[in-house]
C-alpha cells in the first residue's frame, strides 16, 4: 500500500486551512496521460515532497527541504479521518490517486476510507480508467457519502465520464483558459463547465467554495493546466 502524508491543517493557498492528504506516486495509474507529462504535482515544492514521500514508504520519518515529516499507512489515514469532527470538509490527495492493483482500484481500501468518512465531508479525484470494476467501486463510495470525482483529460473525455452517471466530473482545461474572463465553458455535448474559482480569485479556497465535494452539482469543474510543465498538460487537455 502506498505511503500517505496527513496534513491536519493545510497551508496550500488553493485548499485553504482544511485537512489534506497526499498519497505516494505508486497510487497513480500508469495510464494517466499526465504522468511525467505535465502533472502539476510533480513540480515545485509539492513535487519535491511527493518524491520524498514515495521514496520513504509508509510509516517512516523523512525530510522534505527543511521539514521533518512522518508518513502513515492506509490504516493510519482511516484513523485520522475517523477522528475528524462530524461534517469536517477534508480533501483526499492534493497529489496521488486511489490505491490499486495493476489499474484495478483496491475496493477494500476504498471501502475502509469511505466508512471512516461517514458523517465527514471528504472529497477526492481519480484518473483511473473507468473499467466496470472501477466504476462499481467509485459508484459505491459516492453513494455512501465519500465524493470521488472522475478526472477528465479533455472536454470530450469529460462528456464520456459524465455519461457513466456514477460520480461528479472534473476536467483539465488548456492553460490559456482564464476563469476571470471565461468562468463558464461548455463541453462538445453542451455540458456546463465551471472554472475552479480558486484558480482566478484570491478570496476563494476549497474551504469556502466546496464545489468539488458536492455530488449533486449540475456542472463539471474545470482546472486550467498549471505549473512549470503546463504546456505539456495543455497539449493533453486540447
Ligand atoms: S472548485 Fe472549489 S472545491 Fe473544487 S478545487 Fe476549486 S476551490 Fe476547491
Cell, residue 102: 495493476
- The residue nearest atom 1 of ligand 1, judged by CA position, is 196
Supply the pLDDT for residue 24: 98
Q: Kind and range of the H or E element at 221? A: strand 220-224
Using DSSP's 3-state secondary structure scheme, residue 37 falls into coil
Residue 195, ligand 1, Cβ within 6 A: no
User: What DSSP state is assigned to residue 43?
Assistant: S
Supply the pLDDT for residue 226: 75
What is the distance in A from the centroid of ligand 1 to the CA of 76? 26
Residue 211, ligand 1, Cβ within 6 A: yes
Taking 70 as the pLDDT cut, the residues of the chain under it are 227-229, 231, 233-234, 236
Q: Express each pLDDT in 19-62 by its tens digit.
A: 999 999 999 999 998 887 778 788 888 999 999 999 999 999 99
Supply the pLDDT for residue 20: 98
The per-residue b/e assignment along 112-123, b for 16 or more CB within 10 angstroms, e otherwise, is: bbbebbeebbbb
Amino acid at each position: 500500500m502506498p505511503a500517505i502524508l496527513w496534513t491536519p491543517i493545510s497551508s496550500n493557498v488553493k485548499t485553504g486551512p482544511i485537512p489534506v492528504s497526499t498519497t505516494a506516486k505508486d497510487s497513480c495509474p500508469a495510464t494517466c496521460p499526465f504522468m511525467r507529462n505535465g502533472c502539476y504535482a510533480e513540480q515545485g515544492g509539492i513535487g519535491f515532497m511527493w518524491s520524498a514521500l514515495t521514496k520513504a514508504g509508509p510509516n517512516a520519518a523523512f525530510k522534505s527541504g527543511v521539514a521533518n515529516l512522518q508518513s502513515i499507512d492506509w490504516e493510519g489515514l482511516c484513523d485520522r479521518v475517523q477522528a475528524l469532527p462530524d461534517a469536517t470538509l477534508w480533501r483526499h490527495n492534493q497529489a496521488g490517486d486511489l490505491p490499486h492493483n495493476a489499474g484495478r482500484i483496491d475496493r477494500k481500501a476504498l471501502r475502509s476510507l469511505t466508512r471512516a468518512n461517514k458523517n465527514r465531508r471528504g472529497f477526492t479525484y481519480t484518473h483511473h480508467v473507468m473499467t466496470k470494476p472501477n466504476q462499481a467501486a467509485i459508484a459505491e463510495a459516492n453513494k455512501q457519502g465519500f465524493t470521488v470525482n472522475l478526472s477528465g483529460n479533455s472536454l470530450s473525455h469529460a462528456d464520456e465520464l459524465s455519461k457513466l452517471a456514477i460520480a461528479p466530473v472534473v476536467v483539465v482545461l488548456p492553460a490559456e483558459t482564464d476563469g476571470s474572463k471565461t468562468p463558464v465553458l461548455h463541453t462538445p455535448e453542451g455540458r456546463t463547465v465551471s472554472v475552479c474559482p480558486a484558480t482566478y480569485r484570491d478570496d476563494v479556497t476549497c474551504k469556502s467554495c466546496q464545489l468539488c465535494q458536492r455530488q449533486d452539482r449540475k456542472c463539471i469543474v474545470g482546472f486550467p493546466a498549471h505549473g512549470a510543465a503546463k504546456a505539456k498538460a495543455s497539449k493533453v487537455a486540447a
